[in-house]
Amino acid sequence: MPRERFKTLTEQMYYILLCLTTERSGAEVLEAVRDLTGGRVGIGSGTLYDLLELFAAEGMIRQTRAEGRRRSYVITDRGREMLTREYERIRAQCADYESLFGGRSGNG
């Protein structure tokens, strides 16, 4: 996966990294994302596996433990940097929105 791809994160990438600020296994990440977003964001287990592999290959997360085929990960400094950059991008988008509509919804 080219580095270019992680210039911005998709919503699912963002939440996976966010949940890995605490050490978690794949199954725990699925649960944590559902809990954190109240079920709004659902990550497919296939997608989660692939993204964990990609993040690990890019050094954005690192493996901490392996119990059988259950591996746990935690975010790295690089991953945290990406997460922060994405957070700032989203905040900038929110700020732009607010400068136009104040605290109101754009629908009026």
Pick between residue 27 and residue 36 the one whose CB is nearest to another protein. 27
CB of 15 vs another protein, minimal distance in Å: 11
Closest CA to 56 of 43, 73, 69: 73
Contacts of another protein in 32-51 (CB under 8 A): 42-51
12, 43 in Cβ contact below 8 A?
Answer: yes
Span of 8-16, 72-80, 90-98, 100-108 interacting with another protein by CB under 8 A? 8-16
Q: Rounded to an integer, what distance in angstroms lies between the CA atom of residue 30 and that of residue 52?
A: 12
15, 87 in Cβ contact below 8 A?
Answer: no
Binding site for another protein (CB under 8 A): 1, 5, 8, 10, 12-13, 26-27, 30, 42-51, 53-54, 69-71
